Amino acid sequence: MIRSMIAFYLLGNIPIYLYSLLMGFGVFIGLAWVARRSSPEAIWRNVEAGLWALACGLLGGRAAYVALVWPYYQEHLLEAFQIHLGGLAWFGALGGGLFGLGLFARLNRLSAAQLADELLPLLTSISAASWAGCVAERCGYDVTAFTEQGAVSSLAWREAARAAIQQLFGASLGLGLLWLVDRLPAILDAWPGVRFSLGVFGLALALFSTALLNRAPPYWRGLPLDAWAALAFAALALAGAGLALLKGSRRDPLQGGSQQ
- Looking at residue 146, its pLDDT comes to 35
If you average pLDDT over residues 83-87, what whole number do you get? 75
- Looking at residue 255, its pLDDT comes to 52
**Helix 194-214 to helix 225-247 angle, to the nearest 10 degrees?**
160
Three-state secondary structure string covering 103-155: HHHHHCCCCHHHHHHHCHHHHHHHHHHHHHHHHHHHHHCCCCCECCCCCECHH
Please check whether residue 239 is in contact with residue 231, taking contact to mean a CB–CB distance below 8 angstroms: no
Could you tell me the pTM of the whole model?
0.84
**Helix 43-68 to helix 18-37 angle, to the nearest 10 degrees?**
150
- Poorest-confidence range of 85-89, 105-109, 117-121, 152-156? 152-156
More confident residue, 200 or 250: 200
- Looking at residue 45, its pLDDT comes to 96
- Looking at residue 36, its pLDDT comes to 95
- Looking at residue 2, its pLDDT comes to 45
More confident residue, 258 or 52: 52
- Looking at residue 199, its pLDDT comes to 97
- Poorest-confidence range of 12-16, 42-46, 137-141? 137-141
Name every residue whose Cβ is closer than 8 Å to that of residue 2 and which is 6 or more positions away in sequence: 86, 87, 137, 141
- Poorest-confidence range of 3-7, 41-45, 136-140, 217-221? 136-140
